């Protein structure tokens, strides 16, 4: 299964929730980093780590597939 087919395959419910949490972490961290006010260095640093964690969490969650769909041929294959 190549990466495109894996990304398009159905994702289990647990990993859809984790993907949503990762996207929320990305949104919060990007708003903190892009804030027009001067924030303490610690806050901006933590926001950077949150962005990395959210991106990794979302990417890994998107690549998981339901086991029964792993070996099924898709239309057009």
- CA torsion angle for 58, 59, 64, 65 (degrees, to 10)? 90
Distance CA 10, CA 7 (A): 8
Q: Provide the token pair at 67.
A: 């086991």
| DSSP-H helix ranges across 1-77 | 3-8, 13-33, 41-63
Report the predicted TM-score, pTM, of the whole model to 2 decimal places: 0.75
pLDDT tens-digit map of 18-58: 999 999 999 999 999 998 899 999 999 999 999 999 999 99
CA gap 36, 11 in Å, rounded: 37
The residues spanned by each domain of the chain are 9-69
């Amino acid at each position: 299964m190549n990466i495109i087919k894996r990304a398009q395959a159905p994702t289990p419910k647990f990993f859809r929730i984790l993907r949503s949490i990762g996207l929320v972490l990305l949104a919060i961290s990007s708003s903190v980093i892009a804030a027009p006010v001067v924030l303490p260095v610690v806050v901006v640093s933590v926001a950077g780590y949150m962005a990395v964690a959210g991106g990794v969490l979302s990417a890994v969650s998107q690549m998981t597939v339901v086991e029964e769909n792993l070996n099924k041929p898709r239309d057009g294959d």
